[in-house]
Amino acid sequence: MGIESIFPRTVLRVLGLPIRDTVVQTWLIMAILLGLALATHRRYRALEPRRWQLAVEWVVEYVEQLVQDLGGRAITEVVPYLTTMLCFIALSNLFGLVPFVYAPTRDLNTTLALALFSLASCQFYGIKRRGFMKYLRSFVEPVAIMLPLNLLGQLSRTLAMALRLFGNVLAGEMIGGVMFLLLPFLGPLPLNLLGMITGVLQALVFTTLTFVFVVEAMGGEEISSAEVVR
């Protein structure tokens, strides 16, 4: 296994289109999460929950508390979305710890797709909460000249999120690959432990940034004032 195997490569073609290994791994992670969701839904028990159910509830409650702490209020509509994003990115990052398997987030296309999805979610929740026209006006406030700056700001932070996640995951994969070549048995062990921690942290950072941008799009200060009056 050489260091070149860390980089994405084409594994098959569908209708002439090249399919990278990172795409196949992404499909596999999606299937795993969907299967776990269906199994959890069917085996959910309100009384005497099992340990796996308590673990699932802990993750959801953690995201709910994160939303409460960062947003200053309970925004329940974004909890399922953020929980799914956190689980997907964390599982994608941890995939690289499996022998002869690499994280799909080592591909810039994957992280860019996640960042674009994050950008789209900001527009969705912003329009849903504030209305289409009012949300559009927020791009030209306080003066119309702010329009290109606001658009550039959204695009630049999207690119920054993609590059941050991609760079951290790829760097970890490369270091792990080098250590495996130098010390095949003992070398990767401490790096795997560190990789588990950083993989989850990177997922948490990406999810937290997404939520912060969603709150900004929803008009955080205006909503807070309205809810205080209520």
This prediction has a pTM of: 0.85
| Distance of alpha carbon 218 from alpha carbon 224, whole angstroms | 11
| Distance of alpha carbon 22 from alpha carbon 9, whole angstroms | 8
What is the gyration radius of the CA atoms in the chain, in angstroms?
20
For residue range 26-42, what is the model confidence (pLDDT) as tens digits? Answer: 999 999 999 988 888 88
Residues 100-127, mean pLDDT to the nearest whole number: 91
pLDDT of the residue at 145: 87
Higher-confidence position of 88 and 146: 88
For residue range 128-165, what is the model confidence (pLDDT) as tens digits? Answer: 999 999 998 888 888 888 889 999 999 999 999 999 99
| Distance of alpha carbon 199 from alpha carbon 89, whole angstroms | 8
Higher-confidence position of 105 and 141: 105
pLDDT of the residue at 161: 94
Residues 202-219, mean pLDDT to the nearest whole number: 92
| Distance of alpha carbon 110 from alpha carbon 166, whole angstroms | 8
* Residues sharing a CB contact under 8 Å with residue 2, sequence separation 6 or more, in sequence order: 181
pLDDT of the residue at 41: 80
